[in-house]
Copies of this chain bind each other. A is one copy, B any other.
Amino acid sequence: MNDRREPVPVEQILHRVRALCQRATRDREGQFWIEGIRHFVRACDARLQIDAVVQSETLLKSALADKLARRLAAEGVPRYRVSPEHFRTLSVADHASGIGAIVRQPWTPLERAEQRSGLCWIVVEQIRSPGNLGTILRTAEAAGASGIIFLDRSSDPFHPAVVRASMGGLYSLALVRATFPQLRRWAATRRILFVGLSPDGGFLWTDLPLSQEVALIVGEERGGLSERLRSLCHASARLPVAGGADSLNVAVATGVMLYELVRRSQMRA
């Protein structure tokens, strides 16, 4: 077969969206795919760069999302109208919303990562489960964290399942990537206390002496903090675990620690 016709735009955009489910494509294009009214509206509110909108006017029931899509189109952002059937092939939601977008990945350079003034930073090395990483993003936003620093390239916040579990959390957090030497320099030149979260931590989570900006360091689900992460920590905190229990889920442990920081910030206020 030697079909030289150009693909029609709809097929082209469906293909582009599907390709963005692959990490390699996301990395190469610097884009990711979002779907659903909540995500679309929040991405617009956060002024993320939207490269294309995919819409099924039959499915879409949100006047606000439709208005935002038309405004983007007026600004020159390509808008692809697709059939409900086509849209559903892109959707993992129970009820396909009819709106999605290809969005530029909003990375913040590490050297600009000081300019926020949130509750704390969170450093992750590798979280295996996209659901756990997404839940950490969701909780980080809710607790008022400045952002997440991803050590190296092992975790990808733009994985579709991370985006979904984040419930929009990633739109208001600063997302930073850093190598280990960069992170070490960042720590050395700024008065940031690196606090590791670990079952063998030196302080009970409520007893941590905190008087400066904090970066919470969260390890991988099974292995916990790696040696190099431990070498970065100024202090480490543990959550007590009763009886025969093994450990806490990493997203739950991060949430408990973040809300302990919220509790303390409210006591100071």
Contact = CB atoms under 8 A, between A and B. Distances in A.
Contacts of A260: 259, 263
Nearest to A249: B135
A243 to B, nearest CB: 6
Number of chain A interface residues as a range: 35 or more
Contacts of A249: 135, 138-139, 165, 251, 255
A124 to B, nearest CB: 16
B248 A255 contact: yes
A263 B141 contact: no
Interface of A: 38, 42, 45, 119, 131, 135, 138-139, 141-144, 165, 167-169, 171-172, 204-206, 239-249, 251-253, 255-256, 259-260, 262-263, 266
Contacts of A244: 42, 45, 141, 168, 171-172
Contacts of A168: 244-246
Given A138-B248, A169-B245, A255-B255, 6 more contacts: A138-B245, A139-B249, A139-B252, A142-B246, A206-B266, A249-B255
A245 B248 CA distance: 24
From A252, A260, A262, name the one whose CB has the most chain B CB atoms within 10 angstroms. A252
Contacts of A119: 242
Given A262-B240, A266-B206, A248 B144 contact: no
Contacts of A248: 138-139, 142, 255
A267 to B, nearest CB: 9
A266 B204 CA distance: 11
B252 A135 contact: yes
A137 to B, nearest CB: 10
A246 B247 CA distance: 28
B167 A38 contact: no
A260 B258 CA distance: 12
Contact of A144 (B138, B242, B251): B242
9 contacts: A138-B248, A141-B243, A141-B245, A142-B247, A143-B242, A165-B249, A168-B246, A205-B259, A251-B252
Contacts of A131: 131
- Nearest 10 A/B pairs, CB to CB: A144-B242, A252-B255, A142-B245, A256-B259, A141-B245, A142-B241, A135-B249, A206-B263, A139-B252, A142-B248
Nearest to A257: B259
